[in-house]
A and B are shown apart, each in its own frame.
Chain A
Amino acid sequence: MKGIGAKHCRKEDLLLYYYDELDTQRRHELEAHLNGCAACGKEWQQLQRTLDGVPQPTIELASGEAERFAARVAERVQRPGRGKLWLWGGALTATVVLALSLTVRPPGMLPGKGSNLVADATIVQELELLQNMELLEELDLLQELEGQG
């Protein structure tokens, strides 16, 4: 915050000041500047008003709701695990169906210049990307958490 006495405050610093994340020296410098600078004082008040007005979404669990939730979780723990087989199964089924739809075409329907084929292939790739991303995220998180626990 070099030269804060002369220049206007950086918005980043005002934000860190709001969240009490500035070190002591910077905080004192900023406070001194705010006392003497109307423009920064106004900016600070606006920031404060916006952030103070942001609602705090809260779910109040009704009586017995936490226990019912716990019972549902405990029930799922008891269920025999399907592991990740359903995910692999889903990915495999989707790939087979899409491959079939691309290869088995009515007679006389040629790929032409390839524009339809290219569009189909893009959709297949995006769907596979989504599926693979989910699988990788699941596996990564599991491995990471096992390592950290």
Chain B
Amino acid sequence: MTPQAATVVVDHASAQDYAAASELGDRCDKILLEQLRAGHPGAFEQLVASQASRLINLAYRLVGNRAEAEEIAQEGFLRLHRSLDGFRGDCSISSYLYRIVSRLAIDHLRREKLRRKLFFFRRQDDEVDPVEVSADPGASPRDLLQAKETGQRLLAALDRLSARQRAVFVLRHQEGLTLKEIAALLKLQEGTVKAHLHRAVRALRVELEDLQEDRS
């Protein structure tokens, strides 16, 4: 079998796997939805436990604070619960939750910006930084220090972006969504999403420039 033919077989198999997994996911969603609507004991808690990590991380990347991220994720689950009766199942439960949490996080960022503007409030520099939370336990003290500094600088730089620029950057760079998916999620034109991404990256490059020079 030529390498090309092998690739085709593998691609075909993975496409079948994906379709099967997707079908299985749809069926699981339907069962879960029925259980939730019927008030099945533990069904909602089980759903929350299975999605918690993904959604807390999404909110955390968007707002940069763990306590606020948990609060946002919690609110997302509560809203899903409140809208269960009207949930038609046009999209999967996980996509629905992802969308709610993204929008809640963006609203939260906007409110925070307005609050800071009104009350001259600034985020404390000594808050737990993102890199510290996920620090590699095997890293050297120098690496940890550098990672911490990069993390703090990134947070500070992200804080200076508008809520939409920050959301677009996080969703594209850290969550791996395509520009098309981001446009659908945030209800924006794809061109607008590109412009937000470009501005966000330009600002981040300026903020992180000296760190890059140190490394090189």
- Residues on A facing B (Cβ under 8 Å): 11-12, 15-16, 19, 21, 46-47, 49-51, 53-61, 66-67, 69-74, 76-77, 126-127, 130, 133-134, 137, 141-142, 145-146, 148-149
Contact = CB atoms under 8 A, between A and B. Distances in A.
B98 interface: no
B52 to A, nearest CB: 4
A66 B77 CA distance: 13
Interface centre among A12, A58, A76, A142 (most CB of B within 10 A): A58
A134 B146 CA distance: 38
Nearest to A138: B107
Nearest to B201: A15
Given A55-B131, A66-B53, A130-B114, A146 B208 contact: no
Contacts of A134: 111
Nearest to A142: B79
Contacts of A57: 57, 60-61, 64, 130-131, 133-134, 151, 174
A19 B70 CA distance: 29
B74 A72 contact: yes
Interface of B: 44-46, 48-50, 52-53, 56-57, 60-61, 64, 66, 69-70, 73-74, 77-79, 81-83, 86-91, 96, 99-100, 103-104, 107, 111, 114-115, 118, 130-131, 133-134, 147, 150-151, 154, 172-174, 178-179, 194, 197-198, 201-202, 204-205, 208-209, 211-212, 215-216
Given A58-B57, A74-B48, A149-B86, A12 B198 contact: yes
A54 B154 contact: yes
Contacts of A21: 178-179, 194
A73 B134 contact: no
Given A16-B194, A149-B89, 18 more contacts: A19-B179, A49-B212, A49-B215, A49-B216, A56-B134, A57-B61, A57-B134, A57-B174, A58-B133, A59-B69, A61-B52, A61-B56, A70-B46, A73-B44, A142-B83, A145-B96, A148-B91, A149-B96
B34 to A, nearest CB: 15
A124 B173 CA distance: 40
Contacts of B70: 69
A50 B49 contact: no
